C-alpha cells in the first residue's frame, strides 16, 4: 500500500516535470522526447490502477506510433535544426493565469467531491482482465467499436487528401 | 503490494539498474578521460569529408503517409487483442463483427493503394 | 490508494496542456499539448473505472486512444498543408478568416 503510493509519487513527479518541459522548451525535438516521458508515465499509472491492457496499448499506440508521426511532422515542417526563435506567443502570462485558475477550481472541486474515496481493487490486488475489457467492447460498445474503424478510415482518407501533393 | 504489481516491480528494478549502469559507466569514463576539445575534433566526421550545410534535411511527405498507415493498423491490432482472448466465447458473431471491422480498415489500405501513395519511388 | 491522487494528477496535466495550447504558436507543439490533455482524460477514465470496479473506464480509454490517433493524423496533415502554403506553422499568423 505504501510502496504503491511511493511509486505513484515518483512517477507523477517525473510526469509533471516532463509535461512542463513539453510546454516550455524552445527546442521542438526535445518537446517530442519529453512527451514520450509523459506518455510512458501515463502507461505506468495505468498499470498502478490495475488497467494492464490499456497500459500496454498506451505504449503500443502512443509511444510506438503517434510519437513517430510527430517526429515526421517536425521533420516536414522545419528546414533547420536548433532553437526556434519564437515558439511562444506574447500572451503566455495570460495563458499561465488561465491554467492556474483552472487547476485551482478543478482541484477544489475534486477534493470537495471525493474527499478520501479509495480505489479498492488495487489494494485487493486484482488486475482488470483483458477478457473483461473484451466483453465490455463486444457486448455493450459494439456500435462505437465499428464506428471507430469508420473514423480511422475517414481520418486516413482525409489525411491523404490533405497531405498529398497533387 | 499485490502479486500483480510485484511482477511489474521486476520491470521497475530492471529499469533502475539500466539507468544506474549507464549513468555510472558514462560518468566514470567522463571522470577518467582527458578532455582537450579542438574545433577540428568536434566536427561530425573528424577525419572524413567536411560537412556542408546543417544536419537537418527536409524529409518527404510520403513518409508521413506511411507513418499514418502504421498508426491506423496499430489501432486495429489493439482492438484485435481483446477479441482474441475471448475468441471461442463469441463464436460466429464475433467473427462477423471483427470481419466488418477489418474490412472497413482494409478499405483504407485499398484507397491508399489506388491513390498510389504506397509506391516506393 | 486514493481516487483523488489520480484525479488531481489528471487535472494538473490537463492544465499544463491548456497552457501549452494557449501559449504555443508552433502548430506541432499545439498538437503535442492536445495530446497531454487527452492523456489526462484517459487517467481520469481509468481511475474511475478502477474505483467503480468496471472495465468500462478502460473501454472508454481505448476509444479515446483510437480517436486521438485519428485526430493527430488529420491535425498534422492540416499543419503540413499550412506549412506548404505559407512556409510557416505559426498559428497566430494563419488568420485569413479574420474579418
Question: What confidence tens digit (pLDDT) does each residue in B58-104 have?
Answer: 667 788 888 999 999 999 999 999 999 988 888 898 899 999 999 99
Question: Does residue C95 fall inside a structural domain?
Answer: no
Residue corresponding to grid cell 516521458: A37
Q: For residues C41 and C34, is the Cβ–Cβ distance under 8 A?
A: no
Calculate mean pLDDT across residues A102-124: 82
A156 and B2 in contact by Cβ < 8 A? no
Q: Which three cell numbers stand for residue A138?
A: 463486444
With a cut of 50, say whether residue B30 has pLDDT above it: yes
Q: For residues A70 and B63, is the Cβ–Cβ distance under 8 A?
A: no
DSSP code string of A52-78: HHHHHHIIIIIIIIIHHHHHHHHHHH-
C80 and B72 in contact by Cβ < 8 A? no
Q: Indicate whether B73 and B121 sit together in one domain.
A: yes
Domain that holds residue B21: 1-34
The distance of C49 to chain A (nearest Cα, Å) reads 9
A106 and C22 in contact by Cβ < 8 A? no
Question: Does residue C45 fall inside a structural domain?
Answer: yes
Q: How far apart are CA C41 and CA A18, in angstroms?
A: 17
Which residues 14-33 of chain C have a CB within 8 Å of chain A?
A: 14-20, 22-29, 31-33
Question: Does residue B62 fall inside a structural domain?
Answer: yes
Q: What global pTM score does this model have?
A: 0.88
Of the listed ranges A94-103, B34-43, C34-43, the one predicted with least confidence: B34-43
| Residue A88, CA distances (Å) to A44, A96, B5, C15, C77 in order | 30, 12, 41, 17, 22
Calculate mean pLDDT across residues B31-35: 88
Question: Does residue B48 fall inside a structural domain?
Answer: no
CA-closest candidate to residue A43, choices C20, C46, C11: C46
Which residues 70-99 of chain B have a CB within 8 Å of chain A?
A: 70-72, 74-79, 81-83, 85-86, 90, 94, 97
Q: How far apart are CA B41 and CA B47, in angstroms?
A: 9
C61 and A51 in contact by Cβ < 8 A? yes
A37-83 pLDDT, tens digit each = 999 999 999 988 888 899 999 999 999 999 999 998 888 887 554 44
Identify the pLDDT of residue B6: 82
Question: Does residue B97 fall inside a structural domain?
Answer: yes
Calculate mean pLDDT across residues B102-114: 92
B75 and C77 in contact by Cβ < 8 A? no
Question: Does residue B52 fall inside a structural domain?
Answer: no
For residue B87, the domain's CATH number is 1.20.58.1610
Q: Which residues of C touch B71 (CB under 8 A)?
A: 69, 72-73
C46-63 pLDDT, tens digit each = 999 888 888 899 999 999
Q: Which residues of C touch B64 (CB under 8 A)?
A: 76-77, 80
Question: Does residue C99 fall inside a structural domain?
Answer: no
Question: Does residue B47 fall inside a structural domain?
Answer: no
Q: For residues C1 and A119, is the Cβ–Cβ distance under 8 A?
A: yes
Residue A88 has φ and ψ, to the nearest 5°, of -105, 145
- The mean pLDDT of chain B is 86
Question: Does residue C79 fall inside a structural domain?
Answer: yes
Q: Indicate whether B65 and B28 sit together in one domain.
A: no
Give me the total of CB pairs closer than 8 Å, taking one residue from chain A and one from chain C: 252
Question: Does residue B98 fall inside a structural domain?
Answer: yes
Indicate the number of domains in chain C. 1
Q: Indicate whether B75 and B19 sit together in one domain.
A: no
- The mean pLDDT of chain C is 89
Question: Does residue C91 fall inside a structural domain?
Answer: no
Q: How far apart are CA C70 and CA C74, in angstroms?
A: 6
A127 and B59 in contact by Cβ < 8 A? no
Identify the pLDDT of residue A122: 55
Which residues 52-81 of chain B have a CB within 8 Å of chain C?
A: 61, 64, 68, 71-72, 74-75, 78-79
C16 and A20 in contact by Cβ < 8 A? yes
pLDDT bucket at A12, cuts 50 / 70 / 90:
very high
Residue A134 sits at the chain B interface (C-beta within 8 Å): yes
Identify the pLDDT of residue A152: 93
Counting Cβ atoms within 10 Å, is residue B106 exposed (0-12), middle (13-18) or buried (19+)?
Answer: middle
Indicate the number of domains in chain B. 2
Q: How far apart are CA A157 and CA B78, in angstroms?
A: 21
Q: How far apart are CA A129 and CA C49, in angstroms?
A: 13
Question: Does residue C92 fall inside a structural domain?
Answer: no
Q: Which three cell numbers stand for residue B21?
A: 549502469
Q: How far apart are CA C32 and CA B120, in angstroms?
A: 30
DSSP code string of B43-79: SSSTTSPPP-S-S-----HHHHHHHHHHHHHHHHHHH
C73 and B74 in contact by Cβ < 8 A? no
Q: Indicate whether B61 and B9 sit together in one domain.
A: no
For residue C37, the domain's CATH number is 1.10.287.3510
| Residue C18, CA distances (Å) to A78, B85, C15, C24 in order | 24, 38, 5, 10
The sign of the CA dihedral B93, A137, A36, C20 is: positive
CA atoms within 13 A on the CB side of C10: 20
Q: Indicate whether B111 and B78 sit together in one domain.
A: yes
Domain that holds residue C82: 2-86
A126-147 pLDDT, tens digit each = 677 888 888 888 888 999 999 9
ipTM confidence: 0.91
C13 and A86 in contact by Cβ < 8 A? no
Nearest residue on chain C to B77, alpha-carbon basis: C66
Identify the pLDDT of residue A81: 44
Q: How far apart are CA B93 and CA B102, in angstroms?
A: 14
Q: Which three cell numbers stand for residue A119?
A: 480505489
pLDDT bucket at A22, cuts 50 / 70 / 90:
very high
With a cut of 80, say whether residue B52 has pLDDT above it: no
Amino acid at each position: 500500500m505504501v510502496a504503491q503510493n511511493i511509486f505513484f509519487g515518483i512517477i507523477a513527479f517525473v510526469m509533471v516535470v516532463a509535461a512542463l518541459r513539453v510546454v516550455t522548451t524552445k527546442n521542438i525535438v526535445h518537446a517530442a522526447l519529453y512527451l514520450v516521458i509523459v506518455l510512458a508515465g501515463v502507461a505506468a499509472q495505468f498499470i498502478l490502477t490495475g488497467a494492464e491492457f490499456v497500459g500496454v496499448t498506451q505504449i503500443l499506440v502512443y509511444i510506438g506510433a503517434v510519437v513517430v508521426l510527430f517526429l515526421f511532422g517536425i521533420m516536414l515542417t522545419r528546414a533547420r535544426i536548433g532553437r526556434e526563435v519564437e515558439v511562444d506567443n506574447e500572451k503566455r502570462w495570460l495563458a499561465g493565469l488561465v491554467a492556474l485558475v483552472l487547476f485551482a477550481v478543478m482541484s477544489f472541486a475534486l477534493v470537495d467531491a471525493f474527499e478520501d474515496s479509495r480505489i479498492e481493487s488495487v489494494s485487493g490486488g486484482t488486475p482488470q482482465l483483458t477478457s473483461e475489457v473484451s466483453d465490455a467492447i463486444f457486448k455493450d460498445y459494439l456500435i462505437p467499436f465499428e464506428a471507430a474503424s469508420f473514423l480511422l478510415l475517414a481520418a486516413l482518407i482525409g489525411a491523404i487528401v490533405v497531405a498529398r501533393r497533387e | 503490494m499485490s502479486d500483480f504489481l510485484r511482477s511489474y516491480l521486476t520491470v521497475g528494478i530492471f529499469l533502475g539498474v539500466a539507468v544506474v549502469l549507464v549513468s555510472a559507466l558514462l560518468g566514470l569514463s567522463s571522470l577518467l578521460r582527458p578532455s582537450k576539445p579542438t574545433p577540428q575534433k568536434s566536427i561530425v566526421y573528424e577525419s572524413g569529408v567536411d560537412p556542408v550545410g546543417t544536419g537537418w534535411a527536409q524529409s518527404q511527405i510520403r513518409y508521413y503517409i506511411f507513418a499514418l498507415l502504421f498508426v491506423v493498423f496499430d489501432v486495429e491490432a489493439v482492438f484485435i487483442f481483446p477479441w482474441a482472448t475471448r475468441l471461442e466465447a463469441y463464436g460466429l458473431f464475433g467473427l462477423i463483427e471483427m470481419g466488418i471491422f477489418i474490412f472497413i480498415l482494409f478499405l483504407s489500405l485499398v484507397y491508399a493503394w489506388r491513390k498510389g501513395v504506397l509506391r516506393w519511388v | 490508494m486514493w481516487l483523488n491522487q489520480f484525479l488531481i494528477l489528471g487535472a494538473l496535466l490537463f492544465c499544463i496542456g491548456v497552457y501549452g495550447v494557449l501559449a504555443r504558436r508552433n502548430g506541432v507543439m499545439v498538437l503535442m499539448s492536445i495530446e497531454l490533455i487527452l492523456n489526462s482524460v484517459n487517467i481520469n477514465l481509468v481511475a474511475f473505472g478502477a474505483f467503480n470496479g468496471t472495465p468500462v473506464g478502460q473501454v472508454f480509454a481505448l476509444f479515446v486512444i483510437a480517436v486521438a490517433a485519428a485526430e493527430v493524423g488529420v491535425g498534422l496533415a492540416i499543419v503540413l498543408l499550412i506549412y506548404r502554403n505559407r512556409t510557416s506553422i505559426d498559428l497566430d499568423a494563419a488568420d485569413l478568416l479574420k474579418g
